[in-house]
């Protein structure tokens, strides 16, 4: 279920709606922080312990605020996900630009966009449209490669559409290239923790 990873966001949004700060009444000891995504590996025991307790505080605060607001946390979390992943009325270019970052790594320049969805089939149905927008962006901006991370929240898996350096990136990620443009991963990948380091390795010629 996706709600535990998003409890901090529920706290924030509920607090905003109620003009209510959970820190002032001791519900949350520290500013809300996101729990690690399922695809991220935690190497330090102390970090795992700290994140576990942060997630517990987030959940407790979300539940307390939900009682005041008269909403169901699980339903509210699903509504947040549905709203954030609604593709209706959005062009492929808008989907690429929504959550995106550019990375200059040596002489290489990469564009990495991220799209969270609860309906991966709807995204897959627009693959050719998305690839066309990615190719146009690569040509227009001179990127070494353009990547679109499709985060399938309910199934906890990630697909990455790739335009440019397709085979090289597939080898660097240790994944088979599907249909010449697609990489599949178990878990929800982190752009910062798991994708950019691989791009840096490729840019460095390793």
Interval 9-41: pLDDT, tens: 555 555 555 444 444 434 443 444 443 443 443
More confident site: 164 or 65: 164
- Supply the pLDDT for residue 21: 46
If you search the block for the tokens 């199934």, which residue do you land on?
155
Domain 92-203 of CATH type 3.10.310.20 = yes
The full set of domain ranges for the chain reads: 3-84, 92-203
Q: Using alpha carbons only, what angle is made at residue 127 by residues 5 and 38, rounded to the nearest 5 degrees?
A: 20
* The two three-digit tokens of residue 201, written as one number: 């390795």
The residues that bridge with 36 in the sheet, in sequence order, are none
Question: 128: how many CB neighbours lie within 10 A of its CB?
Answer: 10
Q: How many CB atoms lie within 10 A of CB 21?
A: 11
Give, as one character, the DSSP assignment of residue 190.
-
Rounded CA-CA distance 22/68 in Å is 12
């Amino acid at each position: 279920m996706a709600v535990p990873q998003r409890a901090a966001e529920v706290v924030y949004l509920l607090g905003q709606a109620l003009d209510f700060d959970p820190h002032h009444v001791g519900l949350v000891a520290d500013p809300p922080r996101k729990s690690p995504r399922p695809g991220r590996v935690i190497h330090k025991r102390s970090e795992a312990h700290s994140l576990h307790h942060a997630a517990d505080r987030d959940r407790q605060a979300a539940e307390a605020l939900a009682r005041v607001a008269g909403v169901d946390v699980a339903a509210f979390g699903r509504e947040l996900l549905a709203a954030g992943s609604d593709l209706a009325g959005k062009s492929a270019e808008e989907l690429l630009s929504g959550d995106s970052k550019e990375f200059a790594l040596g002489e290489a320049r990469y564009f990495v966009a991220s799209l969270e969805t609860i309906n991966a089939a709807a995204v897959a149905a627009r693959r050719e449209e998305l690839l066309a927008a990615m190719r146009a962006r690569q040509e227009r901006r001179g990127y070494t490669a353009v990547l679109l991370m499709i985060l399938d929240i309910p199934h906890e898996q990630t697909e990455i559409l790739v335009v440019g350096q397709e085979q090289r990136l597939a080898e660097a990620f240790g994944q088979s290239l599907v249909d010449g443009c697609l990489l599949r991963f178990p878990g929800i990948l982190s752009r910062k923790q798991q994708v950019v380091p691989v791009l840096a390795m490729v840019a460095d010629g390793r």
